[in-house]
Amino acid sequence: MVQAPSPRSPTEQHFTHSVLTWEDFKTLQAILAPSGVRVSYCHGEVELLTVSDLHGLIAGNLGYLLEMYMLENLVRFIGLEDFSIEVPTAASAQADKAYCFDQRKPIPDLAVEVVITGERETKLTRYAALQVPEVWFWIDHQIRVYQLTRDGDSYAPHAQSHWLPNLDLQRLATAAAQEFRVDAIQAFQA
């Protein structure tokens, strides 16, 4: 039986602040890093985010299932967890999961975000500044795929991934929400 987990700490805290320099951002990032607060930056705007145990549970399952799928299908990938993607003075983001295909690159081919609270629009703006080709958002038991447009300034929604076109994203999204990993695997393989 497929069940969504009952989170112990269902809320996350999300805060944004504008008009900070890159140097101010790096100082704030260094101060808050040991506390587990995620600090992101895009053209003067800083976002602070604390993540809940539900966020970690879904991100862990999502990465495990996605990598299991890629291994079974002999996809050549490099997985990067909680990877900071930066273009100095422009933008910085820390994806829940990030993947390079065929070779390691400074900017990953795919960034995956679990969104419990927070703004996906600001995240897309940040990823566009970083030129990440494809971004996935897990939101409310669904995965939404966005691919960078030709002009490189924005993203367009897509039904399937460019990198993994045969992956059943709905099954992956539903399975990732299982509390126990074994249940997540069984739901994904069903």
Q: Which CATH number does the domain housing residue 120 bear?
A: 3.90.1570.20
Can you tell me whether residue 13 is helix, strand or coil? coil
For residue 120, the model assigns a pLDDT of 67
pLDDT tier at 176 (50, 70, 90 boundaries)?
very high
What are 122-156's pLDDT values in tens digits?
789 999 999 999 999 999 999 999 999 999 889 99
Provide the pLDDT for residue 25: 79
Q: pLDDT (tens digit, 9 = 90+) per residue, 165-175? A: 999 999 999 99
Structural domain contains residue 94? yes
| pLDDT tens digits along 51-79 | 678 888 999 999 999 999 999 999 999 99
Give a yes or no: residue 9 inside a domain. Answer: no
pTM of the model: 0.82
The answer as to whether 34 is a domain residue is: no
Residue 24 in domain: no
Determine the angle formed by the axes of helices 169-176 and 53-72, rounding to 10 degrees. Answer: 140
pLDDT at 181: 96
Q: Distance between CA atoms of 42 and 180, rounded to whole angstroms?
A: 36
In a domain, 42, yes or no: no
What's the structural domain count of the chain? Answer: 1
Nearest to 95, CA basis, from 67, 76, 114: 114
Q: DSSP secondary-structure letter at 30?
A: H
Mean pLDDT of the chain: 86
Angle CA 139–172–10, to nearest 5: 40
pLDDT of residue 4: 42
In a domain, 13, yes or no: no
Tell me the H-state helices in 40-142. Answer: 53-72, 120-130
Residue 94 has pLDDT above 70, yes or no: yes
> Would residue 3 count as lying in a domain?
no
Least confident interval from 43-47, 86-90, 147-151, 178-182: 43-47
pLDDT of residue 127: 94
Q: How far apart are CA 167 and CA 136, in angstroms?
A: 13
